[in-house]
Structure 1
Amino acid sequence: MSYQLIYLATAIAKTCVLELTENNFAPQRGHCLMGHPKNGTLLVASVIATLCSLSAISKPAEAASLYKGWNYAIDSFNDSITGNNVGGTKYEIYGLALKQTEDKVFIAINANLPFGGTHSDYADDEHVGWGDLIFNFSGKNLSTASANKNLLGIRFASKNDSGVAATGVYEDVTAKTVAKANGIALDSLGEYNEWVKSKGKKPSLGDLAANDPYFNQATHVQNVIATGKKVGGINLLSAGNLSSLGLDFGHFNANGSQTIGLSADRSLFPEGNFILHLAPDCDNDIIALKGKLDIVPPESATVPEPSAVLGLTAMGLLFGSSQLGRNKQQKALNSSAS
């Protein structure tokens, strides 16, 4: 939401009303007054039209990924692999979602992989778990951000191959891949995408295209924390908790057999744009979510919606025009009487 545009619109409106007052509807070169000098209605209509345009710009896009306060990334439903099978496998990830409140960040996953992982004959230890959630607020690609310890990570599953010992939120994170140890036969993300396409399926990475340069196509995706400093804990959420928070993967036909949720304190996260990604330890499906964490004002200091602000501004302009018109008529009558 762009509050700067609202303030700009309000400033334009105030300036126009001030000039109408001082110049009695007389247009001046280079000023915002428009139309016939005796026609204040044209001016007001023009300004209101401008405000309406700004209102349309300032509203967040009605993107399909935004629903009931959650930001969703929906992945291809047929781009996971296991053995020679492609699509709809036990590693399929359908969606990833995030919700922010004043004091919490909520994250939810819809997939076929259970929270505790699954047996795999291909993994070194015959078990494949969930990788870690990896946030990148740096604006750089994943490899660069990892090399500079600019990642934030969440280990939420205790049975995985993370490089940190305990579940929780970690900052100053570097990431690594554990895909080979967990049985993937392909040598890189690029090869993975080509294999999926060769089977007539469509690879994707949620909010990113399958070949997006955010991930190095020549290697496997870093899917767990390698190193980092723990800064806080997490809380796992039940299906009832998630439902009460308005989560609804079904709205996007994302109907994996498992829905996993967790929360962490908002204070553990920076603000700004981010890319969040997640994969199983084997990298047999990958999803990324693009979003933004804002500083949430206290309820007592909530900024009004743009449409409300612009509506009030427009009403003020109409009222001001009406008053100025009456004042001018009164001056004309007084002049005739004298």
Structure 2
Amino acid sequence: MGHPKNGTLLLASVIATLCSLSAISKPAEAASLYKGWNYAIDSFNDSITGNNVGGTKYEIYGLALKQTEDKVFIAINANLPLGGTQSNYADDGHVGWGDLIFNFSGKNLSTASANSNLFGIRFASKNDSGVAATGVYSQVKAKTVAKANGIALDSLGEYNEWVKSNGKKPSIGDLGANDPYFNQATHVQNVIASGKKVGDINLLSAANLSSLGLDFGHFDANGSQTIGLSADRSLFPDGNFILHLAPDCDNDIIALKGKLDIVPPESATVPEPSAVLGLTAMGLLFGSSQLGRNKQQKALNSSAS
């Protein structure tokens, strides 16, 4: 007869292997990842308006991004409405949101911009962007419109020093206030200067964002406005990026570091590792069972002869 104990031991071994490999294949969660969203949380007191520092109408609290197989979702928590705000300091009496600027190049912002190697999203229809329509743009060169929108300070470095001199703490989300990614001697490039439109965006309601699991409150980011949008995943490259955002006046800035994963084409769907391992385990068990039957049959034939 065969040995059922051997089959039981093999099954236990296969199950243990599956469990260990399944645990290994789980992705590690970054500290800023929550419910599928990657968050950058900014200092809550480093915006300015006039002589006021911290908690102003330009304060940005958080920036978040979520990726699915076919969409990229972006959300902003701040005090500035989508339509912007009236300002006595701006040349045209209005300050809007700047554009979302993506950098996948691995270079600093100035270098990537000079080479038109950025991606950008104009999401606010009333701002000082250099492109005419809202949407997603590639081959982007960026520029700053801070001076025309009323900022009195001459550079990012001066901005940081002004915030600190008023007892507040400047930061740029996932980047430090003095991070060399930005040129400290100039204002941050905050809108698209030129680029090629490659697709459209959809603005999202609070209900849409909630259904997607967005929760800035988990990080105590409770600005009065939450703005959300989505765009097709296929409009963006794969890989690591830095995404930054500021109002037209650069009176607060936030940056988010992240990665857009490779999405396999639909025609080349790769089975889940657990499924492959499961099929392998079934094959091993079937082979073991068949081997036992063969041995049992040989034993019967031998006794019959």
TM-score of the alignment, normalized to the shorter chain, above 0.5: yes
Q: Indicate if the aligned counterparts of 1:155 and 1:166 stay in contact, CA closer than 8 A.
A: yes
Offset at residue 39 of structure 1 (A): 17
Q: Indicate if the aligned counterparts of 2:2 and 2:295 stay in contact, CA closer than 8 A.
A: no
CA pair 327-195 structure 1, distance change in 2 beyond 3 A: farther
What are the superposed Cα offsets for residues 9-55 of structure 1, whole Å, 9 maximum, x if unpaired? xxxxxxxxxxxxxxxxxxxxxxxxx9999999999999999999998
SS of alignment partner, residue 328 of structure 1? helix
Q: What is the 5 A alignment of 1:169-180?
A: 169-180=136-147
Q: What is the 5 A alignment of 1:4-15?
A: none
Q: Indicate if the aligned counterparts of 1:44 and 1:321 stay in contact, CA closer than 8 A.
A: no
CA distance in 1, matches of 2:2, 2:82: 66
CA pair 168-45 structure 1, distance change in 2 beyond 3 A: same
CA distance in 2, matches of 1:288, 1:35: 65
Offset at residue 61 of structure 1 (A): 3.5
Offset at residue 276 of structure 1 (A): 0.6
Offset at residue 84 of structure 1 (A): 1.3
SS of alignment partner, residue 39 of structure 1? helix
Q: Indicate if the aligned counterparts of 1:59 and 1:306 stay in contact, CA closer than 8 A.
A: no
**Which ranges of 4 or more aligned residues in structure 1 deviate by more than 2 Å?**
34-64, 295-338
The question of 1:190 aligning with 2:166 is answered no
Offset at residue 244 of structure 1 (A): 1.0
Alignment partner of 1:259 out of 217, 221, 226:
226
Question: In the alignment, what sits opposite 1:168?
Answer: 135
CA distance in 2, matches of 1:145, 1:243: 34
Offset at residue 104 of structure 1 (A): 1.1
CA distance in 2, matches of 1:41, 1:199: 71
Offset at residue 267 of structure 1 (A): 1.3
CA distance in 1, matches of 2:183, 2:23: 37
CA distance in 2, matches of 1:330, 1:203: 80
CA pair 180-331 structure 1, distance change in 2 beyond 3 A: farther
What are the superposed Cα offsets for residues 190-213 of structure 1, whole Å, 9 maximum, x if unpaired? 111111111111111111111111
Structure 2 residue ranges without an equivalent (≥5)? none
Q: Indicate if the aligned counterparts of 1:207 and 1:288 stay in contact, CA closer than 8 A.
A: yes
Question: In the alignment, what sits opposite 2:257?
Answer: 290
Q: Indicate if the aligned counterparts of 1:52 and 1:310 stay in contact, CA closer than 8 A.
A: no
Offset at residue 130 of structure 1 (A): 0.1
CA pair 259-48 structure 1, distance change in 2 beyond 3 A: same
Q: Indicate if the aligned counterparts of 2:38 and 2:258 stay in contact, CA closer than 8 A.
A: yes
What are the superposed Cα offsets for residues 129-169 of structure 1, whole Å, 9 maximum, x if unpaired? 00000001111000000000100111110110001111111
Q: TM-score, normalised by structure 1?
A: 0.74
What are the superposed Cα offsets for residues 229-287 of structure 1, whole Å, 9 maximum, x if unpaired? 11111111111111111111111111110000111111111111111100000000000
CA distance in 2, matches of 1:122, 1:231: 34
Q: Indicate if the aligned counterparts of 1:98 and 1:107 stay in contact, CA closer than 8 A.
A: yes
Q: Please identify, of 79-88 and 305-314, the stretch whose mean Cα deviation from structure 2 is larger.
A: 305-314
CA pair 80-315 structure 1, distance change in 2 beyond 3 A: farther
Offset at residue 64 of structure 1 (A): 2.7
Question: In the alignment, what sits opposite 1:238?
Answer: 205
Question: In the alignment, what sits opposite 2:277?
Answer: 310
Q: Please identify, of 315-324 and 184-193, the stretch whose mean Cα deviation from structure 2 is larger.
A: 315-324
CA distance in 1, matches of 2:109, 2:164: 24
Q: Please identify, of 156-165 and 316-325, the stretch whose mean Cα deviation from structure 2 is larger.
A: 316-325
CA pair 330-287 structure 1, distance change in 2 beyond 3 A: farther
The question of 1:67 aligning with 2:67 is answered no
Question: In the alignment, what sits opposite 2:187?
Answer: 220
What are the superposed Cα offsets for residues 98-151 of structure 1, whole Å, 9 maximum, x if unpaired? 111111111110100000000111111110000000001111000000000100
Q: Please identify, of 52-61 and 194-203, the stretch whose mean Cα deviation from structure 2 is larger.
A: 52-61
CA pair 336-203 structure 1, distance change in 2 beyond 3 A: farther
Question: In the alignment, what sits opposite 1:40?
Answer: 7
CA RMSD of aligned residues (A): 4.2
| Percent identical residues | 94
CA pair 337-177 structure 1, distance change in 2 beyond 3 A: farther
Question: In the alignment, what sits opposite 1:19?
Answer: none
